[in-house]
Amino acid sequence: MFDHYPSWGQEFAQKYLSRTINQFLLHGNVHDMVCLNKKDKTDFVRLKTFLSEEFFGARDFVVFYDRSSGIYFRDKESQKDFNRAVAGRDSLLGTDYANKLPKDPVRVFSLLEQYFRIRVDDKKSIALIIDYAETIVPMNEAGSTGSDDRTALVYLSRWAHDPMFLAADFTTVLITENLADLNKTLVQNPYTSDIHIPIPNEQQRTEFIKYETDKETYKDLSAVSRPVLAQQTAGLNFIHLRSILSNARENKEKITHSRLSEVKKELIEAEAYGLLEFVETDYTLDNVAGHTNVKKHLRQAVKALKQGRQDVLPMGYLVCGPVGTGKTFMVTCFASEVGIPMVKLKNFRSQWQGVTEGNLEKILGLLKAMAPVAVMIDEADAYLGDRDASGDSGVSSRVFSQIATFMSDTRNRGRIIWFLMTARPDLMPIDLKRQGRAEEHLALFPPHTKEERVELFEAMSKKTGLQLTEEYVPQVIEQGLKTFSGADMEAALTRAKFRAAAEGKKKVSPEILDLALNDFLPPTYPEEVELQTLSAVIECTSKELLPERYQEMDRGEILEKIEDLKLRIG
């Protein structure tokens, strides 16, 4: 009977037909269109059109309400019936609502309740659809909820379990983008059920593209085939797709792979409120100096992904090591080589109650729709918080719980790859480092052998655009007279270029290079660096990925040394 509905619509219909619940919360991709696969054709309609004309098409009255538009109806006859009822009420109570209907929730709900009870008593069927529900019953702690919000919450809660409404054909539907934006008392109400509307999958996007371009020559619009366009627009909804096609149609700009990539990034970053950023690079793992064993391991993961073996990949990686060892660069190069988008989570926390959880819900929903995707979280020990965090009304602990739960969903194995980067893995909660979340722990260290030091020098010379007057490897590099991390090396070579430029030269002579390297004094925090190094050693989950000098170290002694360093650093 409901086979032509999308999966969420079928779930909605089944719950509605159970006759045990009459209040539903629709959340997620609520501002998009709904795909209806009918026998003779596929159609796409707006959500409110679907609800009023398809889902509740047989109802006698379908009433809409939001704070901006106030009360409005599906058809003129329903509007006339309501106006007559309001006029009768005005004559009894001396109000003037027939000429100017209220828009605030308290007076609207009072007016609607009286009308609903009269019509339910007349055996009429009613559906009330409330849009932007987060503006009616917003997420607030009980003590900070305003009187109007509390009153609106009481009305909705009462309607959900009122025997008269439950016995009648009466349904309330609240629409919101993020469930976390709604008052948790309403969300957790046993008489209320929430339905998540997902972002369209690849098959649905294919159907929509065909629907939109069926009556025109597709090759005039796009240089990208329909199947590839559907595949490459993971994370976008139907409205976004229509925008891309309309731009090509109206501006005579053919859709190309490069243009599509740019537009997709713009649309997804905007959809995520600017809290999610695409990370791009032209480099590959070939540009990463040193870390031979780690690069070999990551290339095995690249091979598995390209062969479609997502089942053998870890849920996530914890990448640790002292500052300046190239953790971020390594992860970015991995994403470039494997050919999947890499995104970086920006600060989604807010001072406003409920906004942080809502932001995170939105971001996690987009990540799921964008899969396959790699997610980079830098300074993860500070960014992700802890389950036991306090002092912010429980926001940090709820955020931690949301991320931890999402990371452990095995359905996302090989589809959403997490990279948590930190110089202090010992500060990260065990919950995130355990198997089933950030399963593989990779450790990066400064170069130790002559080969590693020379490789780092050559890589950083290329990255900084250093031009030498002749081929030359400084003695300080070959003999390891100083320890340079990747960041230190980049800074020292930039100084050499500066010295040459001060003398009016474009190329750097060996003498200037030696002067710059010998003069360079990196910030010295020996105990902090040693603590970060030993923490990375003890955190690494594969002995063969450790440099030889660390493989045979006694782990008990390392742990004792770490504790001693922590006490000394304070």
Specify the CATH number for the domain of residue 391: 3.40.50.300
Domain extent for 488: 448-570
Per cent of the chain over pLDDT 90 is: 49
Query: Between residues 522 and 393, which one has the greater pLDDT?
Result: 522
Per-residue pLDDT of 72-87, as tens digits, reads 999 999 999 999 999 9
* Tokens (6 digits) for 556: 């008990």
494 pLDDT more than 90: yes
Helix (H, G, I), strand (E, B) or coil at 255: strand
Total number of domains constituting the chain:
4
The CA distances from residue 163 to 80, 81, 120, 167, 188, in Å, are 28, 25, 12, 6, 19
Which pLDDT score is estimated for 355?
73
Which pLDDT score is estimated for 523?
67
Prior bond of 190 cis (ω within 30°): no
Choose the final residue of a domain: 443, 463, 495: 443
385 and 249 both lie in a single domain: no
Which pLDDT score is estimated for 48?
96
Q: Is residue 31 part of a domain?
A: yes
Choose the final residue of a domain: 271, 288, 322: 271
Q: Is residue 287 part of a domain?
A: yes
388 pLDDT more than 80: no
331 and 212 both lie in a single domain: no
Confidence of residue 387 (pLDDT cuts 50, 70, 90): low
* Tokens (6 digits) for 462: 């290329």
239 pLDDT more than 70: yes
229 and 287 both lie in a single domain: no
The burial of 92, by beta-carbon neighbours within 10 Å (0-12 exposed, 13-18 middle, 19 or more buried), is given as exposed
353 pLDDT more than 70: no
CATH number at residue 246: 1.10.8
Q: Is residue 327 part of a domain?
A: yes
40 and 163 both lie in a single domain: yes
Choose the final residue of a domain: 136, 167, 197: 197
Least confident of 37-51, 153-167, 313-327, 348-362: 348-362
Confidence of residue 155 (pLDDT cuts 50, 70, 90): very high
Claim: this prediction has a pTM higher than 0.85: no
Q: What is the mean pLDDT of the chain?
A: 88
Phi, psi of 514 (to 5 degrees): -60, -45
328 and 434 both lie in a single domain: yes
22 and 79 both lie in a single domain: yes
472 and 537 both lie in a single domain: yes
Which pLDDT score is estimated for 357?
79
CATH number at residue 485: 1.10.8.60
Which pLDDT score is estimated for 394?
64
455 and 499 both lie in a single domain: yes
454 and 531 both lie in a single domain: yes
Q: Is residue 130 part of a domain?
A: yes
Confidence of residue 204 (pLDDT cuts 50, 70, 90): very high
439 and 452 both lie in a single domain: no
Per-residue pLDDT of 432-483, as tens digits, reads 888 888 889 999 988 888 888 898 899 889 889 999 999 999 999 988 888 8
105 pLDDT more than 80: yes
100 and 247 both lie in a single domain: no
Q: Is residue 2 part of a domain?
A: no
Q: Is residue 1 part of a domain?
A: no
The one-character DSSP state at 508 is: B
Rg of the chain taking only CA atoms, in angstroms: 30
Q: Amino acid identity of 125?
A: S
Confidence of residue 1 (pLDDT cuts 50, 70, 90): low
244 and 371 both lie in a single domain: no
Q: Is residue 308 part of a domain?
A: yes
Which pLDDT score is estimated for 391?
54
Which pLDDT score is estimated for 351?
60
Are the C-beta atoms of residues 328 and 378 closer than 8 Å to each other? Answer: yes
552 pLDDT more than 90: no
Maximum distance among all Cα pairs of the chain, rounded to whole angstroms? 99
Q: Amino acid identity of 549?
A: R
Q: Which of 136-145, 193-202, 342-351 has the highest mean pLDDT?
A: 193-202
CB burial string 313-325: b at 16+ within 10 A, e below: bbbbbbbbbbebb
DSSP letters along 332-381, please? HHHHHHHTS-EEEE-----SSTTHHHHHHHHHHHHHHHH-SEEEEETTHH
Q: Is residue 193 part of a domain?
A: yes
